[in-house]
Chain A
């Protein structure tokens, strides 16, 4: 409708559980997958956009992150410290399971800044951890034979110094 500026327009998103979220279009722009959907639509998108891979808990967290970061960026200079504090709290508040679920959602929705932040969080979690720990974290099935694994260890012996033992 004419007269309503871009930043006021609201988009509705629907999660797997059927929960509806009203999102400002300026925030929706950061959800690149959603934005692509809007751009590809011929008419104005009025009905809720379904997100078949995104659960309520994750979307709620993502919107929380985006809303806060938009607030930090639009405010005064001092926001850098506040933003760092928020980010640290945000990372700490999640279990590994929740972190993984969030990365999957952020990847599906293509939220660039959040993904970078989550990547760093994951890197911090797996830093210096044992091979088994990292396998558990990523749900990786070990398809090496014991001989193959032993060979790899020997080839990169120096790299294994300092890695936690399994």
Chain B
């Protein structure tokens, strides 16, 4: 039987409208069953499928509701956890029943179309064939958002269906091997958002190019994986692809490669040339640092750039600034990097002040500032030349002692007095 809540009503209303308040207390719990099925289904769609199935036990009215939830979210509970051999047996026990559960749900589920399908599992709970079957089912029901998170401790050949998927609009992949891409073509005609997580093994960067070449309407791309396992093999640099991502608006790139994959990588970097927002992580910057200006494309629409690097990529930064005339927001994440023998990190003054610095740069954020000469040099350069700068934010590395921090602050403030009307904040 439904219980009344023990919570006391708010005092002020209790005094003014005692009758109405008690009525509200009594009826909310009774009336909550008036909520239409559609609303209850919406609430269930916010729960993992495992839990929404349990609600079938609440009452006969609730029994069919979970089967109408247009979202399937399966997790075996241990995907993504660290491999520990001694726990193998307990993991098998924990996950036994998972694949039967998924099959049962897929059989009994009644919604004609599924908008979101998420599968997170490890190799203890399901087989390669299970995964292929389930993805096939998802494709059959017109899934638009797909998330797949497996474990790298066992090779799973991703099915062709996953990469020839008409309806998918957003796809997120993690803990997977992309080698299977060698065997078939890619067609993802509706894909607007692609997120390749940091636990993905490419096999070869040609496969990434192949994947991107099959996404003509891609708008947002995240490539985070720093694994570069089998690059340099016989497949590399053999593919001939035309990468045209002219709808791409936002990209975040963080992988690395060997010299043999240079062709593929520059194909990828060049395909990013239309973006408005670009974020380049340090692993990619490290590989690009020796490139020449002509290797870097012109970014006609780039308005926001985020870049993280150590000490030896200042030239790359210069090329990026020179090639991004409309840049308005620049964020630099400095990383501490050991001094390479015989190489002094240096900021080299460009011959001509980049257009964006002169007339477009409005915000400049420098994070983990270490007070190095090259950093101060760049900072000074920006402050002297950025005519429309509105805000500047500097966050100092925690390794700096308070004395150094004060020195930096006073140098920057002195520069501000002479050159800048922008607002500067320190962290």
Contacts and interface: CB of A to CB of B under 8 A. Distances in A.
Interface of A: 16-17, 55-57, 95-98, 100-101, 103-104, 107, 115-116, 119-120, 122-123, 126-128, 131, 134-136, 138-144, 149, 152-153, 155-163
A159 B13 contact: no
Nearest to B48: A127
B417 interface: no
A73 to B, nearest CB: 21
Interface stretch (B55-63, B207-215, B369-377, B397-405): B55-63
A162 B94 CA distance: 10
Query: Mostly helix, strand, loop or mixed at chain B's interface?
Result: helix
Given A141-B2, A157-B97, A159-B50, 19 more contacts: A57-B10, A57-B24, A95-B7, A98-B7, A104-B32, A115-B39, A122-B43, A131-B54, A136-B2, A139-B30, A142-B59, A156-B54, A156-B101, A158-B96, A158-B100, A159-B54, A159-B101, A160-B54, A161-B94
Contacts of B51: 127-128, 159, 163
A135 B58 contact: yes
Contact of A17 (B20, B54, B96): B20
A14 B96 CA distance: 57
B7 A131 contact: no
A123 B146 CA distance: 21
14 contacts: A56-B20, A96-B7, A103-B39, A107-B36, A119-B43, A135-B2, A139-B2, A140-B58, A156-B54, A156-B101, A158-B100, A158-B101, A159-B101, A161-B97
B35 A103 contact: yes
A149 B63 CA distance: 11
Nearest to A118: B43
Contact of A144 (B29, B46, B60, B94): B60
Contacts of B60: 143-144
B77 interface: yes
Nearest to B10: A57
Contacts of B53: 156, 159
Query: Mostly helix, strand, loop or mixed at chain A's interface?
Result: helix
A122 B28 CA distance: 14
B86 interface: no
Contact of A100 (B28, B36, B55, B62): B28
B32 A103 contact: yes
B306 to A, nearest CB: 16
Given A97-B29, A159-B53, A159-B54, A119 B42 contact: yes
Contacts of B39: 103, 107, 115, 119
A32 B351 CA distance: 60
Interface in B47-86: 47, 50-51, 53-62, 77
B395 to A, nearest CB: 17
B292 interface: no
B100 A56 contact: no
The 7 closest A-B pairs by CB, nearest first: A158-B97, A123-B46, A95-B7, A139-B2, A97-B5, A101-B28, A139-B29
Contacts of A140: 2, 33, 58-59, 61-62
Contacts of B46: 119-120, 123
A120 B101 CA distance: 25
Nearest to B46: A123
B77 to A, nearest CB: 7
B220 to A, nearest CB: 18
Contacts of A123: 43-44, 46-47
A104 B59 contact: no
